Amino acid sequence: MTDLLITGGTVVDGTGAAPVRADVAVTGGRVEAIGDLAGRPAARTLDASGHAVTPGFVDVHTHSDLTLLSGPEAHSAVRQGVTSVVVGNCGLGVAPVAADPAALRAAAGYLDLDPAVRWTWSDLPGYLAALDAARPSVNVAALVAHIPLRAAAVGFADRPAGAAELDRMRGLLGDALAAGAAGVSTGLVYAPACYARDDELLALGRTAAEHGRLFAWHVRDYADGLLDSVRQALAVASATGCRTQISHLVAVGRRNHGSVARALDLIDDARAGGADVAFDVYPYLAGNAPLSQLLPDWAQEGGEDPMRGRLADPDVRARVADEWRDMPLTWDDITVSRVPDGPAGSGDGDGEAGGAIVGRTIAEIAAAAGTDPSRVALDLAAEHGNGVQMIAAGRGERDLLDALAHPAAVIGSDGQALDPDGPTGGGAPHPRSYGCFPRLFAEYARRPGGLPLAEAVRKCTSAPAERAGLADRGVLREGAVADVAVFDTERIADRATFASPQRFPDGIRAVVVGGRPVVEDGVHGGARPGEILRIP
Ligand SMILES: [Zn+2]
């Protein structure tokens, strides 16, 4: 007997093929049949009349590395239709653990919303085993992040890696890829990854290429230096042949609006030359990052503690403030979204003084205090280090539309699986963690001239699954894993806003992971059938 029969819906299979009216039968966690299956005996039936039945969304760009251990129900992800997430993006990651675990944990402060999560692992297999033990509601694949690799091999100093250190990084990366990691990621604004020279990035690219895995790039600069930064990633792609993913392609700062089209020209040229290059994007006009990302590389040297100490020096503060004078963003563009409760830990995200500043711009906080905005930002970074998060606006919709329309664009939220009622529920997070995928359909597919439904679904399913190397996922066909989203194409919409981000979306009828319903009619039933995906 069939385990689960999803009846009466319109199947959008994830490949970009036209929607068709069909039932979907699921048995043993796999799609058993698709077609007119009326009368087929089934243990459970799910009525999808009037709804689209699609593969579950594959979120190729997340920072849920630690939040899944805090809240394995993955509420904010699965309730928007996400069934698989890729962690370890932007060079930020948790394995392998370096000689100084506390320094690595501080460097990954952006991921670290719940101080109660214990780091029980030393390497990627150990981290994947911790995920196995947590039994998340969604499937998880992991990239190996550059920060832990460099922290282990070189430490936190601003200097080139020596030959033996490059070998050590390649060895650690190769081991993690052999253990099933989906690829490697870098984040060239975050210490110590920002100290990598070209030879180091080439070494990572070569190792990724040897294993046929992805190299994901948070490039050096998304503002004035966007095009040169994209060129750097493409040069490594062409020199090494590695599969390449540009993370969250965007142009930051009003003076750079329009640059995305030029970056796409570079990507098109590389693709025409045979490079396997794509990119991800999320449908919002603001980003989210650690506030310390604004600091120059030299100010972050040595790790979080030296950085915080340095920011007490008046000469250092004057020098940073001087560099900030030419920043592409204004202090009105930057809103404080999270402040940890203690200097080294994170609590409810509102901070000791955070209640007064979370949700307000740096400019507003400075005006209220009668002080200079750069002083506010320096004080926050000095007091709380990498745990202070910001929402950064100043992006243009034309750039977003150009990126979304490109055939190589896939959707990646850049968000985190959060639980509004748990330790990860504090602060004022970017609404993408709750509404990224519904927002794509509501704002960029349903509008006149928007993405066709089948193409929007492809960008959320088979295309990102292919980037991450997830076989038999992201498509609905006989034999594929039964990760399924059922939603109302007229009603699906994000409800999370910047002012009120902890809101689940509308229009999601059901979310099925590995053949088991996890969400029905907006209610998470508590099932945790996610698999930890090791790429063979
Ligand atoms: Zn990211």
347 pLDDT above the threshold of 70: no
Closest CA to 288 of 155, 404, 431: 431
498 Cα–ligand 1 center, Å = 18
- Do residues 330 and 189 share a domain? no
Provide the H-helix boundaries in 58-162.
Answer: 67-70, 75-78, 101-107, 124-134, 146-153
244 pLDDT above the threshold of 80: yes
220 Cα–ligand 1 center, Å = 13
Confidence of residue 343 (pLDDT cuts 50, 70, 90): very low
- Residues paired with residue 288 on neighbouring β-strands, in sequence order: 391
pLDDT, position 430: 95
Give the model confidence (pLDDT) of 407-438 as tens digits.
Answer: 999 999 999 999 999 999 988 899 999 999 99
- Do residues 360 and 214 share a domain? no
Confidence of residue 346 (pLDDT cuts 50, 70, 90): very low
174 Cα–ligand 1 center, Å = 22
- Do residues 379 and 255 share a domain? no
61 Cα–ligand 1 center, Å = 6
Confidence of residue 296 (pLDDT cuts 50, 70, 90): very high
- Do residues 118 and 246 share a domain? yes
Tokens of 254: 């009003």
186 Cα–ligand 1 center, Å = 10
27 Cα–ligand 1 center, Å = 36
Distance CA 5, CA 20 (A): 16
236 Cα–ligand 1 center, Å = 20
500 pLDDT above the threshold of 90: yes
62 Cα–ligand 1 center, Å = 6
- Do residues 259 and 346 share a domain? no
Contact 39, 528 (CB under 8 A): no
Give the model confidence (pLDDT) of 179-210 as tens digits.
Answer: 999 999 999 999 999 999 999 999 999 999 99
Distance CA 242, CA 209 (A): 4
**Main-chain dihedrals φ then ψ at residue 346, nearest 5 degrees:** -125, 140
User: For the chain, what percentages of helix, strand and coil (3-state, to nearest 5) are there?
Assistant: 35, 20, 45
342 pLDDT above the threshold of 80: no
Kindly provide the b/e burial profile for residues 100-115, where b requires at least 16 CB atoms within 10 angstroms of the residue's own CB: eeebbbbbbbbbbbbb
Please report, as a single letter, which amino acid is at residue 409. Answer: A
Q: Is 479 inside a domain boundary? A: no
pLDDT, position 439: 98
Distance CA 327, CA 325 (A): 6
Residue 142 CB partners (closer than 8 Å, separation 6+)? 65, 86, 87, 88, 93, 95, 124, 127, 128, 131, 181, 182
Half-sphere exposure of 113 (CA within 13 A, CB side): 31
DSSP-based three-state secondary structure for 217 = strand
Distance CA 71, CA 411 (A): 23
91 Cα–ligand 1 center, Å = 8
479 Cα–ligand 1 center, Å = 32
46 Cα–ligand 1 center, Å = 35
20 Cα–ligand 1 center, Å = 35
- CATH at 207: 3.20.20.140
- Could you say which of 433, 464, 496 is where a domain stops? 433
Q: Is 349 inside a domain boundary? A: yes
- Could you say which of 402, 433, 464 is where a domain stops? 433
pLDDT, position 100: 87
335 Cα–ligand 1 center, Å = 18
60 Cα–ligand 1 center, Å = 10
63 Cα–ligand 1 center, Å = 6
- Residues paired with residue 523 on neighbouring β-strands, in sequence order: 520
Mean pLDDT within 60-71: 98
Mean pLDDT within 324-353: 73
pLDDT, position 350: 53
- Do residues 170 and 273 share a domain? yes
Kindly give the pairing relationship between strand 2-11 and strand 42-47: parallel
258 torsion bin: left (phi>0), alpha (psi -120 to 50), beta (else): left
40 Cα–ligand 1 center, Å = 44
535 Cα–ligand 1 center, Å = 21
Task: Report the residue count for the chain.
Answer: 536
- Do residues 249 and 127 share a domain? yes
7 Cα–ligand 1 center, Å = 37
280 Cα–ligand 1 center, Å = 10
DSSP state, 18? Answer: P
Mean pLDDT within 337-345: 65
DSSP-based three-state secondary structure for 172 = helix
Protein residues placing their CB within 5 Å of the ion ligand 1:
89-90, 414
Tokens of 486: 């059922």
Give the model confidence (pLDDT) of 7-29 as tens digits.
Answer: 999 999 999 999 999 999 999 99
Give the model confidence (pLDDT) of 253-274 as tens digits.
Answer: 999 999 999 999 999 999 999 9
Confidence of residue 511 (pLDDT cuts 50, 70, 90): very high
pLDDT, position 299: 95
Q: Is 449 inside a domain boundary? A: no
165 pLDDT above the threshold of 70: yes
464 Cα–ligand 1 center, Å = 15
- Do residues 171 and 302 share a domain? no
CA dihedral 157, 163, 169, 174 (to 10 degrees): 170
Confidence of residue 354 (pLDDT cuts 50, 70, 90): low
Please report, as a single letter, which amino acid is at residue 373. Answer: P
210 Cα–ligand 1 center, Å = 25
- Do residues 234 and 369 share a domain? no
Distance CA 511, CA 53 (A): 10
Mean pLDDT within 149-161: 96
Residue 175 belongs to domain spanning = 57-285+394-433
Q: Is 70 inside a domain boundary? A: yes
Confidence of residue 345 (pLDDT cuts 50, 70, 90): very low
Across 70-74, 325-329, 339-343, the highest mean pLDDT is recorded for 70-74
Distance CA 487, CA 437 (A): 11
Tokens of 133: 């033990």
DSSP-based three-state secondary structure for 190 = coil
Give the whole-number percent of the chain exceeding pLDDT 70.
97
Closest CA to 288 of 111, 409, 112, 414: 414
Distance CA 111, CA 429 (A): 12
320 pLDDT above the threshold of 50: yes
Tokens of 172: 């650690």
Mean pLDDT within 283-309: 93
293 Cα–ligand 1 center, Å = 12
3 Cα–ligand 1 center, Å = 37
414 Cα–ligand 1 center, Å = 5
Q: Into how many domains does the chain fold?
A: 2
**Main-chain dihedrals φ then ψ at residue 38, nearest 5 degrees:** -55, 135
Q: Is 2 inside a domain boundary? A: no
- Do residues 255 and 324 share a domain? no
DSSP state, 313? Answer: -
344 pLDDT above the threshold of 50: no
Closest CA to 29 of 349, 522, 518, 483: 483
- Do residues 125 and 199 share a domain? yes
- Do residues 416 and 325 share a domain? no
Kindly provide the b/e burial profile for residues 518-527, where b requires at least 16 CB atoms within 10 angstroms of the residue's own CB: bbeeeebeeb
21 Cα–ligand 1 center, Å = 37
Q: Is 29 inside a domain boundary? A: no
Q: In the predicted model, what is the mean pLDDT of the chain?
A: 95
Q: Is 127 inside a domain boundary? A: yes
251 torsion bin: left (phi>0), alpha (psi -120 to 50), beta (else): beta
450 pLDDT above the threshold of 70: yes
Confidence of residue 469 (pLDDT cuts 50, 70, 90): very high
522 pLDDT above the threshold of 90: no
Instruction: Note the Cα 309 to chain centre separation in Å.
Output: 30
Q: Is 211 inside a domain boundary? A: yes
426 Cα–ligand 1 center, Å = 19
Confidence of residue 235 (pLDDT cuts 50, 70, 90): very high
